[in-house]
Structure 1
Amino acid sequence: MTNSNYVKIYTGELIVVQRMVSELEKLDIIPVLKDQTDSGLLPIFGSSNSIFKQVYVHKDELDTAQKVVDAISSELEELQ
């Protein structure tokens, strides 16, 4: 997403990304997800439960989206 109007705000496991997407959509922010899986390895090793995704949002929504990421990240840190 070089030279685009989108900014990466998070990279992480699918379950956390799904939570972030849900929270962002409640604020009318529609994120773009990018899969970090090397699909060329899937036929050899099979699928993984630990698939990483990148979350991008439009630059105009960055401030609001970052607050969501920070809140969820804080909750996860408290659980550890």
Structure 2
Amino acid sequence: MTDSNYIKIFTGELMEVQKIILELEKQDIIPVVKEQTDSGLLPIFGMSNSLLKQIYVHKDEHEKATLILKNLNLELP
């Protein structure tokens, strides 16, 4: 999501991502979730990083979203 109006605020496993999404939506922030994959490494190593998800928020909501992450005691990227 380069050159867009969205900023990545978190990368992590599905359980953490779901928790963050719930908290963001409580504050009327609609996040964009992207699956992080290393599909180019799949044939070599037989596995991928598909368990990791990335959360993006609109730049206008970035400050509010980072406060929510801090309240959840989560690290920012």
**How high is the TM-score relative to the length of structure 1?**
0.76
* Structure 2 unaligned spans of 5+: none
* Structure 1 unaligned spans of 5+: none
1:15-71: CA deviation from partner (whole Å, max 9, x where unpaired): 000000000001110000110133563xx85788x8110100000001110011112
Alignment pair present for 1:30 and 2:30: yes
The secondary structure found in structure 1 opposite 2:28 is: coil
Structure with greater helix percent: 1
| CA distance in 1 between partners of 2:66 and 2:31 (Å) | 12
Q: Size of the alignment, in residue pairs?
A: 73
| CA distance in 1 between partners of 2:39 and 2:18 (Å) | 20
| CA distance in 2 between partners of 1:27 and 1:69 (Å) | 12
Q: Which stretches of structure 1, 4 residues or longer, exceed 2 Å deviation after superposition?
A: 37-41, 44-48
RMSD, aligned α-carbons: 2.4
| Alpha-carbon contact 2:38-2:48 (below 8 Å) kept | no
Give, as a single letter, the amino acid of the residue that structure 1 aligns with 2:10. Y
Give, as a single letter, the amino acid of the residue that structure 1 aligns with 2:30. I
Q: Kindly, what percent of the aligned residue pairs are identical? A: 58
Give, as a single letter, the amino acid of the residue that structure 2 aligns with 1:19. K
Give, as a single letter, the amino acid of the residue that structure 2 aligns with 1:11. T
| CA distance in 2 between partners of 1:3 and 1:56 (Å) | 13
Alignment pair present for 1:16 and 2:16: yes
The secondary structure found in structure 1 opposite 2:62 is: helix
